[in-house]
Structure 1
Amino acid sequence: MLTMIKHSTKLKMIINTIAIVALIIAIAVSISYGTTAIPLETVWQAVFSFEADVTSHQVVQELRLPRALSAALVGAFLAVSGAMMQGITRNPLASPSIMGVTDGAAFALVLMLAFFPAVTNFGTTIASFVGAGLAVTLIFMIGSFSSGGLTPIKLALAGVAIGTMLRSISSIFSLHFQLEKEMGFWLAGGLAGTNWTSVKILFLAGIIGLAISFSIGKSITILSLGDDMATNLGQNNVRIKALSVIAILILTGAAVSIAGAIGFVGLIVPHITRFIMGTDYKWIIPSSAIFGALLLVLSDIVSRLINAPFETPVGAITSLIGVPFFLYLARSSGGGVK
């Protein structure tokens, strides 16, 4: 496991401020870069002095700005979801992609596309929420009913098993209803299809999901010490876990409905954040949001650079980073979040 760095509150604030500045710069670069490069000066004018008859302004407003904002929000949502999952389960390998949550969303999405092909973006978002909730419910039920109770290892195994099962069923439906193209793009993970409707959906989900997440940071810190310890300190663990699951479902459901199955952001970022910020989830959760947004915006830029002028799925970029990190954690983890 990574050894945490002891930092003062002032230094943590400075680090977060630097990360926010880096995020703003990354968003500007993401908007500027594309099939045709747009100067940053023109980007500024398009955002703050929009002229509808200027083609570059239209490209910025209708394509690149919503894409960059969507990348930042999706990255923040997945990172916060991963941090909360690791906190409430004390499982260092917990994340929306590994624990089967994104597979549950994909399962519901393929059913929706198969039986309601004219479904709107709002409908696919609701389906993603329901699918993610189904996956989480099944995983916790299987893990809890096994002998010895719910342990981090059993939770991870249940997540892999349920995720694999739902992924297999999704593939069967996808082949039967000839949805390979739609689901192939979704499973690869990408931001090419994002627009202002995507941003609105993410923004509304973020208001609720992030508000819940930030408000229970202190309680998750206590819960991460263990259920017995938290109970002895007078905390209602059932309430905190329920609120955490609700926040995770809202954030993950919105993220995967817009960007598809982008893996490992929820695994990598919380560990890096914990390494920098310590064990207090009042810092880990908001900092994970910043670092997660920065990671996905940078990954999206790389996805357009690596094989230009063609676009590589951003999920492939995060997987290239995340798989070695996952193997390192699996090898070094003692079964709990330190």
Structure 2
Amino acid sequence: MRTRQARLRPVHLAAGLSLFAVTLLAGVLVGSAGLPVGGVLKALLDRVPFVHVDSGLGVIDENVLFELRMPRALMAAMVGGMLALAGAGYQGVFRNPLADPYLLGAAGGAGVGATVVIALVPGDPGFGVPLAAFVGAIFGVFLSYALGRTAGRGNAATLVLAGVAVSSFLAAVQTFVQQMKTEELQRIFAWILGGVGSADWHQLGLVAPYSLVSTVVLLAHGRLLDVLSVGDEEAASLGLSAPRVRLVVLAAASLATACAVAVSGLIGFVGIVVPHAVRRLAGGSYRIVLPLSLLGGAAFLEVADLVARTVIKPGELPLGVVTAFVGGPFFVAVLRASRRQVDT
């Protein structure tokens, strides 16, 4: 019970915030056009209300900083934070270390919903993409959970297999929609490959309210997820409604997944890698795992985006490819560890 009663220590929070700040600054500084560190810091400080600092940057450099670099860096941070936070939330709901937005069908369902809107709605669909992605994410998770419960009482291996099956089915649906709307293939494929290269302030404004709501709800349920981790009967004896908590957390985690998928495409493994790293380093209480996963996910995807845009200059790797290189071996390690725990 000690880890479940643990609180977020200031040193862990400071480390998470520092890591996030450093990676965010790196995301702003790194690019084909070199920007001076001092000038960037002064330009950022100049945007603080009631603070006026001469950055020394020219008009072109300021446009590069605030119209290209900043939206991309903030979008990478938001997407990574939402995926990691959603992964931690799903793991708490299902009490399963392998639960992940990508593996549970949430990302696949969100992908189908977003693809349908992109293919069928002419012009800029606006809020329609995140809304359709949310509905699709809920549908994908529901299918995976229902199939896992029916086939094998919801154990870890069965849930993963159910998620893979549902994701494959949703991928087939997505392909069908693409073939029906071949004139939109370029837009759809650009979205599916995953990335934040086209991020702008308009996109950030569209998904920011969804991200804020899901973040607040999930962080507020950290203590309740700790209670759920000891079992439904003990939770009920403490006056906690386990079904209600699961429903709220499931909806919030799916909303977080939908926010990320709607603007970045399908990016896997963030929801497994980051929460497990946080548990290893800081402890297993969800009051610790949830906030540090948010910060760690933002930092992780910021670094992944830096790799994606620098490793094959002047080209750019899809962001999902970079996370898969890290997440694939990590997932195998987590699966092996889970099987050893079941065997013992």
* TM-score normalised per structure 1: 0.91
Aligned letter for 2:156? P
In structure 1, the partner of 2:169 is 165
Alignment of 1:226-241 (within 5 A): 226-241=231-246
In structure 2, the partner of 1:215 is 220
Kindly indicate whether the alpha-carbon contact (under 8 Å) linking 1:217 and 1:282 is maintained by their aligned counterparts in 2: yes
Q: Quick check: 119-128 or 205-214, which moved more?
A: 119-128
1:18-59 C-alpha deviation (Å, 9 max, x unpaired): 221122121111111112121122222433337997111011
1:287-336 C-alpha deviation (Å, 9 max, x unpaired): 11111111011111111111112111111111100000011112221398
Using the alignment, how far apart are the partners of 1:151 and 1:286 within structure 2? 27
Name which of 68, 76, 79 aligns with 2:73. Answer: 68
CA 147–44 in structure 1, closer or farther in 2 if over 3 Å, else same? closer
In structure 2, the partner of 1:243 is 248
Using the alignment, how far apart are the partners of 1:223 and 1:9 within structure 2? 17
Alignment of 1:126-145 (within 5 A): 126-144=131-149
1:63-91 C-alpha deviation (Å, 9 max, x unpaired): 11011111111111110100011111111
Name which of 141, 155, 158 aligns with 2:159. Answer: 155
Aligned letter for 2:302? V
CA 335–172 in structure 1, closer or farther in 2 if over 3 Å, else same? farther
Kindly indicate whether the alpha-carbon contact (under 8 Å) linking 1:5 and 1:276 is maintained by their aligned counterparts in 2: no
Matched, 1:261 2:258: no
CA 309–147 in structure 1, closer or farther in 2 if over 3 Å, else same? closer
- Aligned to 1:334, the other structure's residue is in SS state helix
Using the alignment, how far apart are the partners of 2:294 and 2:286 within structure 1? 12
Matched, 1:41 2:38: yes
* RMSD, aligned α-carbons: 2.5
1:188-235 C-alpha deviation (Å, 9 max, x unpaired): 210011111222233212221111111110110111223333234332
1:114-155 C-alpha deviation (Å, 9 max, x unpaired): 2213242321111111111111222223233x1663333332
Following superposition, the deviation at residue 176 of structure 1 comes to: 3.0
Kindly indicate whether the alpha-carbon contact (under 8 Å) linking 2:148 and 2:155 is maintained by their aligned counterparts in 1: yes
Using the alignment, how far apart are the partners of 1:324 and 1:232 within structure 2? 40
CA 248–9 in structure 1, closer or farther in 2 if over 3 Å, else same? closer
- Aligned to 1:291, the other structure's residue is in SS state helix
Aligned letter for 2:169? M
CA 300–5 in structure 1, closer or farther in 2 if over 3 Å, else same? farther
Kindly indicate whether the alpha-carbon contact (under 8 Å) linking 1:27 and 1:69 is maintained by their aligned counterparts in 2: yes
CA 335–113 in structure 1, closer or farther in 2 if over 3 Å, else same? farther
Identity, % of aligned positions:
31
Kindly indicate whether the alpha-carbon contact (under 8 Å) linking 1:152 and 1:336 is maintained by their aligned counterparts in 2: no
Using the alignment, how far apart are the partners of 2:32 and 2:204 within structure 1? 22
Alignment of 1:43-192 (within 5 A): 43-49=40-46, 54-144=59-149, 146=150, 149-178=153-182, 179-192=184-197
In structure 2, the partner of 1:24 is 21
Matched, 1:322 2:327: yes
Show structure 2 runs of 5+ residues with no match: 48-54
Using the alignment, how far apart are the partners of 2:314 and 2:213 within structure 1? 38
Q: Quick check: 266-275 or 230-239, which moved more?
A: 230-239
Q: Quick check: 95-104 or 13-22, which moved more?
A: 13-22
- Aligned to 2:339, the other structure's residue is in SS state coil
Aligned letter for 1:240? V
Show structure 1 runs of 5+ residues with no match: none
Matched, 1:202 2:207: yes
Name which of 288, 293, 298 aligns with 2:293. Answer: 288
Aligned letter for 2:40? V
Kindly indicate whether the alpha-carbon contact (under 8 Å) linking 1:190 and 1:313 is maintained by their aligned counterparts in 2: yes
Q: Quick check: 115-124 or 186-195, which moved more?
A: 115-124
Using the alignment, how far apart are the partners of 1:334 and 1:233 within structure 2? 31
CA 312–5 in structure 1, closer or farther in 2 if over 3 Å, else same? farther
Following superposition, the deviation at residue 5 of structure 1 comes to: 9.8
Using the alignment, how far apart are the partners of 1:73 and 1:109 within structure 2? 18
CA 121–37 in structure 1, closer or farther in 2 if over 3 Å, else same? farther
CA 175–42 in structure 1, closer or farther in 2 if over 3 Å, else same? farther
In structure 1, the partner of 2:52 is none
Using the alignment, how far apart are the partners of 1:120 and 1:59 within structure 2? 27
Aligned letter for 1:107? V
* TM-score normalised per structure 2: 0.89
Using the alignment, how far apart are the partners of 1:175 and 1:141 within structure 2? 29
